Amino acid sequence: MNLDQALHTFVIESRELLEDMEAALLAARGASERSEFVNALFRAAHTIKGSAGLFGLDAVVAFTHVAESLLDKVRAGAVALDDELVELLLQCHDHLGALIDAVDGGDDPSDARWAAPGASLAAHLRARMGQPAPREEALAAVSPANHWHLSLRFGQNVLRNGMDPLAFLRYLRTLGTIRHIVTLPDAVPALDALDPTACHLGFEIGFESAADKEAIEQVFEFVLDDCVLRILPPNARVSEYTELIHAMPEEPARVGEMLVRCGSITERELKAALAAQQAAGTSAPIGQVLVELGRVQPAVVDAALAKQQRVRELKAQESRSVRVDADKLDRLIDLVGELIIAAAGAHTLARRTRNVELMERNETLSDLVERVRDSALQLRMVKIGATFTRFERVVHDVARELGKDIALAVSGEDTELDKTVVEKIGDPLTHLVRNAMDHGIEPADVRAARGKPAQGTVRLNAYHDSGSIVIEVSDDGGGIDRERVLAKAVERGLVEAGRQLTDSEVFALLFEPGFSTASQVTNLSGRGVGMDVVKRNIAALRGSVDMASRPGAGTTVTVRLPLTLAIINGFQLAVGKSVFVVPLEMVEECVTCTADGEHDYIDLRGHVLPFIRLRELFALPGTRGARENIVVVRHGGCRIGLVVDTLLGEAQTVIKPLAPMFARVRGISGSSILGNGDVALILDVPALMQQAGARARPAHAAA
């Protein structure tokens, strides 16, 4: 691994840690008990600092050091993690993100661009360190029955790993009271022989606490691998102390003396223990002795085992996953696309030869190619949860900016979709969420007047629906004023006055360019740009966007996206010599066309089904055949029929984008190359539906 690669790994890991940090901060904000999040924060800062040090990124180390020191104080209970501090740490998180981005971009993070904001943040952090938080009287009612004895020897690498042994003791104090402590100079060499970066410190501690053993052990979580820690429970038997005495590297008499100094055993007990020890001469390990004596509570053992199990699973998972460059995956998927086209070509030729054996082999091959395609595409599928999590921060920031109390509720995080889609959906979603917060959710007084909870909710939901992924952004706000939208649309000349529009048609107007009903222009939205951009971005992903709203109850924006942008299962249709493809998931059924020339709808088992004649729509040459077929397609709860000459059946379709000069062609979303080398056009079903709806309306109005 060369340095560039290592640096790249550092960048990726740092970003992951920063994500953890942000998640912990946001979770802490809503929690009453915040201490559990402090460890995650500390770990993030600590690890970034350590790794940055390896690369000599002094600016990152210096800044992170200040943050880590403060977090250390928070961990020790000396500084409270209040809302203000969470806010400050969020800013630090952003600054660190900027520094990491700079590193990633090949810039020097010590550049003045970052130094100034860094210095100001660091000053704020230092200011917080200076003002100690009111120390809570931790765990009252400490009695001698709560007297634990801790023997602690730090490993040589503790300092080198960037830990300060003292930090653990400060943290320990949050769990109880250190009654007595003996700092052991025994292992520390004389000055000239000392390696000042190796840790030789050891402590014997008499500790009063009502906490359980696991909690005490947790204090030393970060150094458990690199220290010797023995914890004797309150009222431990003398024999256990005997074991301890012999387990420690120091002379038995010396350890015994320290135990007495810590108040853990009496002088008389020590003498008895040492004598008994010499007489018996046992050397069983202390853990075994503890279990034999039944001193260790079963819960502690179970918890320890469960924890080990978790660690093991985590490690196993780590070794099961591989980081792959996204470019490599894209190349693989391109190749699979070519493979599908080539296989289709071979398939067509094989059929022409009428060689049964060759055709059979080709079937097997096609089957395998299909499976390779599915596996390759699966590689790019990611859960949408990570994207949703990012909105915690967006909601937090925007809510502050707006002065509204708004919570984010997330569901369907496990829904998977293509990585390229995930990357491109972020901006449109951000806009929708901001919009919901800004325009959707009412100010607190209005909410109170309407009898709603003061805290507004923005909801993100995702699920799969017939080959698409559906993402919903909803709010429990005031809903959309239909009449106001309509009035504005008439004023702008988007619709004629007096026309009857359905609700969804009215709401669709909001996505028209230049449309905005916000009477108040805010920093966030309401400038009349945005919703049309959202629609355009989503359309570029071959998706669609709809809006539904109930006055006073809220608004839901539904975004539908194809699962993948590269390869789909297609259904091929032909009109004359032109071949078209619709995504197979959208095809509901195929029926023989029974309509005469007059109507553009049929009666399908008692329901009206509007249809489009593709020959007329695309002005294709040729006349209607004697037997036409209707392909019934469904999208987002609507159905229409497509009238075609022949049905060619199912085929894998590699989507090739259309050249920009065809971008304005309605009803076509892409192209594909057939097995015989011809080009097929992929139909844009949502756009066709809109067209069908637009043509159907005057007909209804007339009827």
Partner 1 sequence: MSGAFAIEGELTIYRAEELQAALGEALARDPALQIDLSHVTEFDGAGVQLLLAARKAAPRLAVVRPSPAVLEVFELLDLAGQFRSDA
Binding-site ranges for partner 1 (CB under 8 A): 154, 158-159, 164-166, 169-170, 173, 178, 180-183, 185, 188-194, 196-197, 199-201, 203
Identity of the residue numbered 409: A
Cβ distance to partner 1 smaller for residue 158 or 534: 158
Cβ distance to partner 1 smaller for residue 129 or 407: 129
Identity of the residue numbered 455: Q
CB of residue 54 to partner 1, shortest distance in Å: 16
Cβ distance to partner 1 smaller for residue 188 or 687: 188
363-399: buried (b, 16+ CB within 10 Å) or exposed (e) per residue?
A: eeebeebeebbeebbeebebebeebbbbbbbbbbebb
CB of residue 186 to partner 1, shortest distance in Å: 10
Residue with tokens 């093991």: 312
Cβ distance to partner 1 smaller for residue 165 or 233: 165
Identity of the residue numbered 466: S
CB of residue 198 to partner 1, shortest distance in Å: 9
Which DSSP category does 519 fall into?
A: S
CB of residue 74 to partner 1, shortest distance in Å: 16
Cβ distance to partner 1 smaller for residue 223 or 339: 223
Joined tokens for residue 444: 């607190």
Distances (CA, A) of 424 to 407, 536, 538, 556, 565: 24, 12, 9, 21, 11
CB of residue 322 to partner 1, shortest distance in Å: 36
CB of residue 100 to partner 1, shortest distance in Å: 23
CB of residue 65 to partner 1, shortest distance in Å: 9
Q: How far apart are the first and last CA of the chain?
A: 74
Cβ distance to partner 1 smaller for residue 132 or 144: 132
Rounded Cα distance, 320 and 279, in Å:
53
The string of DSSP codes covering 51-106 is: HHHHTT-HHHHHHHHHHHHHHHHHHTTSS---HHHHHHHHHHHHHHHHHHHHHHTT
Q: Work out the burial of residue 300: count CB atoms within 10 Å of its CB; fewer than 13 is exposed, 13-18 middle, 19 or more buried.
A: middle
3-state secondary structure 351-393: HHHCCHHHHHHHHHHHHHHHHHHHHHHHHCEEECHHHHHHHHH
CB of residue 63 to partner 1, shortest distance in Å: 15
CB of residue 175 to partner 1, shortest distance in Å: 15
Rounded Cα distance, 51 and 60, in Å:
10
CB of residue 246 to partner 1, shortest distance in Å: 25
Rounded Cα distance, 612 and 382, in Å:
37
CB of residue 149 to partner 1, shortest distance in Å: 15
Cβ distance to partner 1 smaller for residue 165 or 337: 165
Cβ distance to partner 1 smaller for residue 37 or 168: 168
Cβ distance to partner 1 smaller for residue 197 or 500: 197
Cβ distance to partner 1 smaller for residue 198 or 638: 198
CB of residue 25 to partner 1, shortest distance in Å: 26
3-state secondary structure of 116: helix
Cβ distance to partner 1 smaller for residue 163 or 433: 163
Count the neighbouring beta carbons within 10 Å of the beta carbon of residue 228: 14
Which DSSP category does 438 fall into?
A: I
Rounded Cα distance, 136 and 206, in Å:
21
Rounded Cα distance, 579 and 259, in Å:
89
Cβ distance to partner 1 smaller for residue 189 or 657: 189
The string of DSSP codes covering 288-303 is: HHHHHTT-S-HHHHHH
Q: Reduced to 3 DSSP states, what percent helix, strand and coil does the chain have, rounded to the nearest 5? A: 50, 20, 30
Cβ distance to partner 1 smaller for residue 46 or 396: 46
Q: What pairs with residue 611 in β-bridges?
A: 641
Radius of gyration of the chain (CA): 34
Distances (CA, A) of 68 to 6, 7, 48, 63, 167: 23, 22, 10, 9, 11
Cβ distance to partner 1 smaller for residue 197 or 321: 197
CB of residue 150 to partner 1, shortest distance in Å: 14
To which H or E segment does residue 512 belong?
none
Cβ distance to partner 1 smaller for residue 66 or 654: 66
Rounded Cα distance, 415 and 563, in Å:
10
CB of residue 157 to partner 1, shortest distance in Å: 12
CB of residue 219 to partner 1, shortest distance in Å: 14
